[in-house]
Amino acid sequence: MSQLRSVKGMPDRFGDMSRALRAIEDAFAKTMRASGFSEIRTPILEKAEVFQRAVGESSDIVHKEMYAFKDRDKKQTYLTLRPENTASVVRALLQAGMLDAKHDEKHFYIGPMFRRERPQKGRYRQFNQCGAEYFGCESIHADIDVLFTADLFLREIGVKNFKLVINSLGNPESRARYNTMLKNAAQIFADEWCADCQTRLEQNPLRIFDCKVPGCRALLPKLPVLTDALDEHSKERFTQVCLGLKTCGVDFEIDAHLVRGLDYYTDTVFEFVVDEGLGAQNTVLAGGRYDGLSQAMGGPSLPSIGFAAGLERLVYVSSLGLASGQEGPALYLVAADPMGREQCMKLHSQLRRKGLNVQRDLRERSVKAQMKDANRCAAKFTIVIGEREARAQIGRCRNMASGENLDINLDLEAIIEAVT
């Protein structure tokens, strides 16, 4: 056996898993197109500065998890496998001159992301995300539309028992106010914070809410909540978003401790979490408003809101997931002799051109082995064709589930009618 192995945390996907991933990707594209989003595909490799400027040097994804290396050019450009796609999308649209506050840009993406974190169920080093970004609209209706669409998508792929939790981070001023409040309050527990949190408290105090260390998590309820620091405008905006969600039938809970990893989130932030099936990796979709990002990347000041969902996590909790199984072919053509094989080959090509899922034996096996193969691939019908059937242009069509047989003409219309 070959000793070659894939990279740790970067699993190969086939069978039920790849089928389930594809089903969810297709459902996502369909929902997003019907909601007015168009697809964007950006390169998997970007200059590292795209994420350093967008996500922030102090974030875990840039600081610890990014796969980065120097290119072989003279400048030794620092490149990275994208750890997320929002920054790439903003980079791409700015580069194309498509972003200004005068009109809306709504885009969705699907593809692999790379983060060097500890692999476990629902957490990989190469994983797939589907996501959406809505640029240009400052109104609460953009928040409501994006949240409604995310909720609709999860319903459409049959995710049960999920919960939407939301919060508002307010504007940059109220965030700065809160950071000071947080720093002061956190100092009371000085040594109890983990080493990472000590740094976070220096550099970006909000990130302590992302910490997974139990000791730190236990301290969080003792800290002031963001809501205390929000100004009247942000509070009112958040109230209006919540009312709008109610009007649209989107259930949610407010969690005053919810913050998101990015530096540039403003106002609405949210996560869709599931109760069971994923352990600690229970956030399936997350996002928020990031009005500061475009400017931080050298573009115009631009209202923006978006989300990203982990496709592998969705596979485990969606009814389109692993159990959905493969559909067998509608028909398996069984060749009984050389003349029958000729006839099978011809019918097979004609039926495939008509769009029928039909298979035939390519290994020139006996009739018995072919029947076994038809069973194995869960074919719904079989037709055995030999010299006699080829001459008479009549074949016996067998329903594999009921065992019923029916003689039919070997013309395309009659076959399609019998097996569909």
Residues that bind ligand ATP (CB under 6 A): 84, 115, 117, 122-124, 127, 129, 261, 281, 283-286, 308-310, 312-313
How many angstroms separate the Cα of 257 from the Cα of each of 144, 274, 309? Answer: 21, 18, 21
Positions of E strands within 235-323? 253-254, 266-274, 283-289, 304-310
CB of 361 to ligand ATP, least distance (A): 41
Instruction: Report the residue number, 82 or 313, with the smaller CB distance to ligand ATP.
Output: 313
Q: Which is nearer to ligand ATP, 81 or 336 (CB)?
A: 81
Residues contacting residue 114 through CB under 8 Å, at least 6 positions apart: 44, 66, 67, 81, 82, 83, 125, 126
Pairing between strand 162-168 and 266-274?
A: antiparallel
Minimum CB–partner distance for residue 126 and ligand ATP (Å): 8
Q: Which pairing describes strands 331-335 and 358-360: parallel, antiparallel, or unpaired?
A: parallel
The residue (of 62 and 347) whose beta carbon lies closer to ligand ATP is 62
CB of 113 to ligand ATP, least distance (A): 7
Shortest distance (Å) from residue 285 CB to ligand ATP: 6
d(CA 390, CA 59) in angstroms, rounded, equals: 70
Q: How far is the CB of 288 from ligand ATP (least distance, A)?
A: 9
Closest alpha carbon to 306 in 108, 33, 57, 139: 108
Minimum CB distance to ligand ATP, residue 178 (Å) = 20
For residue 405, the minimal CB distance to ligand ATP (Å) is 50
**Which residues on neighbouring strands pair with residue 382, listed in sequence order?**
332, 398
Residue 110: phi and psi, rounded to 5, are -145, 130
CB 313 within 8 A of CB 276: no
- Residue 130 vs 415, nearer CB to ligand ATP: 130
Q: Report, in this order, helix, strand and coil percent for the chain, each rounded to 5.
A: 40, 20, 35
259/371 with CB nearer ligand ATP: 259
For residues 25 and 342, which CB has a smaller minimum distance to ligand ATP in the complex?
A: 25
Exposure of 228 by Cβ count < 10 A (0-12 exposed, 13-18 middle, 19+ buried)? Answer: exposed
Q: Which residues, in sequence order, are CB contacts of 94 under 8 Å at separation 6+? A: 294, 297, 298, 299
Question: From the CA atom positions of the chain, what is the Rg in Å?
Answer: 28
The label of the residue with tokens 């894939």 reads 6
Q: Tell me which residue has its CB nearest to ligand ATP.
A: 310
Least distance CB 177 / ligand ATP (angstroms): 24
Q: Which is closer to ligand ATP, CB of 123 or CB of 200?
A: 123
Residue with Cβ nearer ligand ATP (164 or 284): 284
Smallest distance, ligand ATP to C-beta of residue 66, A = 12
Q: In terms of CB distance, is 31 or 359 closer to ligand ATP?
A: 31
Task: Output 99 or 285, the one with its CB closest to ligand ATP.
Answer: 285
Kindly write down the DSSP assignment for every residue of 40-83, as one continuous string. ----SEEEHHHHHHHT-TTSHIIIII--EEE-SSTT--EEEE-S
CB of 85 to ligand ATP, least distance (A): 9
| Phi, psi for 302 (deg, rounded to 5) | -150, 120
Nearer residue to ligand ATP within complex by CB, 314 or 397: 314
How far apart are CB 322 and ligand ATP at their closest, in Å?
16
DSSP 167-232: EE---HHHHHHHHHHHHHHHHTTGGGS-HHHHHHHHH-GGGGGG---HHHHHHGGGSPPGGGG--H
Is residue 248 classed as helix, strand or coil in its secondary structure? coil
